[in-house]
Structure 1
């Protein structure tokens, strides 16, 4: 396989001949590329600044040509060239990234602006080539934008009407919100209780869509459910997936709705007490929705799919140690990925700290026409391959793995070497270079 990420090995060979290589190993700086001795897969570090992260697993970080990828850093947003691994700072400060536009490659983010002593939050976009910044929407208190539609004509967000803004603020702002006050472990330990408390508040909420060209904002689906995890379809500009937030065993989580407020649909209806489904994501072609399904919670594990046009359902079974915080899928549904988990998480995995590549296999239908299989779930299994040993990773930081556009790498974030960085592991095995 071509390994465009990697530097030439000639420098390392020369250092070894000169007797310098042992000195490098003695230095405190961790390596930036290596072959995992447990899996045989090459891992490379993509970011250069400690505290950098690849994006949340369901946010598009890639430019439309697939050549560059957005990451966050402690003081801004940067763009990584996936061929050369060069890193370019695009936005400075403390912006909250939304995603990269699928049509134009504009980078959408939320930033703060202070004028005359007053600070406001603005949804902005920046052209990564010209660096031209456009201010799109001034957010009112309680508004949050977390997705941009396929043709970049609409922003999708939520609004919350409440009076006690100083409480439970940990959950306002989405999965990329940086929280300074507590360590990652402290956040994880308290998250469950905070989620229960937030769900019980029943704040008035709703969805809104903002037309970027006209400036018109339309509110839909008002209620008191806790809404979040908004994701526009990658191909249908009017179809939004969102969730009812809260502990998964207490809510019917996965929903879709059209941008005019019509066709509200529950995607997964539970069939048993303590069944849970969540961490939903779109396939690249927008034809299906996939999610983590457990029947019941913490006991039996599936990755489930729902075909939007037909309603056909598919479920792939996996083992306890293969359960992952987040799953993902490649174009064409050829591969799935998992970012593993530790013993504190819902699967209670004894050996789950790995990045996985899953090859799906549907089980053959042997009913031979004796049964009416229309409407039944298609079932299959995952065949797992371990890509990276995450034994040194603290899962208070979720790896959030995703496939690179050229399908040569699985990109993730990790603190395995100390500070958080963005990494990629090569899907095919190869010798170190």
Structure 2
């Protein structure tokens, strides 16, 4: 082989060898002033790779508060971490993942599911982020198995998949199991719910199981006669789970809670037939934020609230027929906070017009709440100041591939969103950090 081709081959081999966990990418960090609100926005990514944040039901930052973990096509669909101060981007998985990324709050660990070599089985994988990020910075990377550990593998008969949540004790993870396994644990004669609504979703049964991350032991938690979605753990109270009845829209009873031993199953917020409840997120030891939507016009009324047209099919849900007389403002709507102990609900705020608040979150100290709306604007609510509401940022393009999904960091000083503000095609999203105003 000629020397020139040998050199090219060596470069290709080098590229392959380093195209794995721990590889680094140049900073894309940009600070942009919102032209409407004046808020200084820090874009941690700014190129059209197809980035998206972790869902608001789960932590976004590493336990040291320095790195934000996100999904991207930059490294072929592997998870990435970006340093908030330097903008350095590091690949933190190798071998792919499926479902939710779970960042530990007490340790520099990441947990996720990935497909096993045996069909219908899933591995639950632990990543030592502390060691990985240190070795990546030092240029002393080791093979992937030096950082990734298989905590256990789910049996094929569980039909495991979808959402996974890390318990506050960081010893157990919770995950969904399929209809056949769920049915084995239901009481005889239980009525199985059919599909609900125009999207033909919501049929059961489904269940939740848990795995011990040290031993790989699997235990069944609960079965229900409907489709389960958005499994999340209370990150401040071990052994407490919140999940939903997923229909793709309004549910007969959206929010549920149960304890890890299967006891205490109940509706989190018992909703009325006219209420459209969605996007619940545990925000503190005792509180869950959720949206009671006010996005639909009142049938037969001369005026009323309606969602803005976007020109993008399916960009804003709930505009199709078949949901009944729900999601209107004939009754109270807005960003709701439910107390897990007292079971009381309060409305923290609502926009005066438009779709109303949609994806919601809150700070763990009870001070702040945040929500987006169909226009992709983000609003901050000061719960200790008469629920004063302020628009933080707007102009994030309704044509974006997804919604902003605002989520607080652990100490309530920052909010992460995903945004197409910088996107030339109007769809590709980037990772953006919004500061919470000190005043």
Query: TM-score normalised to the size of structure 2?
Result: 0.70
1:143 maps to 160
- 1:317 paired with 2:349, answer yes
What's the offset of the Cα at 1:93? 4.9
2:225 maps to 224
Quick one: structure 1 residues 67 and 405, their matched pair in 2 at CA, closer, same or farther if it must change by over 3 Å? Answer: farther
The 8 Å contact of residues 162 and 203 in structure 1, kept in 2 or not, is answered as: no
The 8 Å contact of residues 278 and 293 in structure 2, kept in 1 or not, is answered as: no
1:33 maps to 31
Q: List alignment gaps of at least 5 residues for structure 1.
A: 1-29, 164-191, 343-352, 363-380
Aligned equivalents of 1:250 and 1:61: distance in 2?
Answer: 27
2:389 maps to 384
What's the offset of the Cα at 1:250? 3.7
Aligned equivalents of 2:50 and 2:405: distance in 1?
Answer: 15
**Residues 211-360 of structure 1 mapped to structure 2, 5 A cutoff:** 211-246=212-247, 248-271=249-272, 273-284=273-284, 286-294=285-293, 296-299=326-329, 300-319=332-351, 320-321=353-354, 323-342=356-375, 353-360=376-383
Quick one: structure 1 residues 394 and 137, their matched pair in 2 at CA, closer, same or farther if it must change by over 3 Å? Answer: farther
Aligned equivalents of 2:374 and 2:438: distance in 1?
Answer: 23
Quick one: structure 1 residues 405 and 270, their matched pair in 2 at CA, closer, same or farther if it must change by over 3 Å? Answer: closer
Segments of 4+ moved more than 6 angstroms = 192-195
Alignment deviations for residues 132-184 of structure 1 (CA, whole Å, 9 cap, x no partner): 11102223452125101001111101111369xxxxxxxxxxxxxxxxxxxxx
SS at match of 2:199: helix
The 8 Å contact of residues 293 and 301 in structure 1, kept in 2 or not, is answered as: yes
The 8 Å contact of residues 124 and 133 in structure 1, kept in 2 or not, is answered as: yes
Q: Which structure ranks higher in relative contact order (CA pairs < 8 Å, sequence separation ≥ 6)?
A: 1
Aligned equivalents of 2:369 and 2:289: distance in 1?
Answer: 10
SS at match of 1:130: helix
Aligned equivalents of 2:253 and 2:400: distance in 1?
Answer: 26
The 8 Å contact of residues 44 and 423 in structure 1, kept in 2 or not, is answered as: yes
2:420 maps to 415
**Residues 394-413 of structure 1 mapped to structure 2, 5 A cutoff:** 394-405=399-410, 407-413=412-418
Quick one: structure 1 residues 31 and 99, their matched pair in 2 at CA, closer, same or farther if it must change by over 3 Å? Answer: closer
Aligned equivalents of 2:248 and 2:61: distance in 1?
Answer: 31
**Residues 56-135 of structure 1 mapped to structure 2, 5 A cutoff:** 56-74=55-73, 75=76, 76-96=78-98, 97-114=100-117, 120-131=121-132, 132-135=147-150
SS at match of 1:129: helix
SS at match of 1:268: coil
Q: List alignment gaps of at least 5 residues for structure 2.
A: 1-27, 133-146, 182-194, 295-325
Query: TM-score normalised to the size of structure 1?
Result: 0.71
What's the offset of the Cα at 1:120? 4.8
SS at match of 1:298: coil
- 1:156 paired with 2:198, answer no
2:209 maps to 208
CA RMSD of aligned residues (A): 2.9
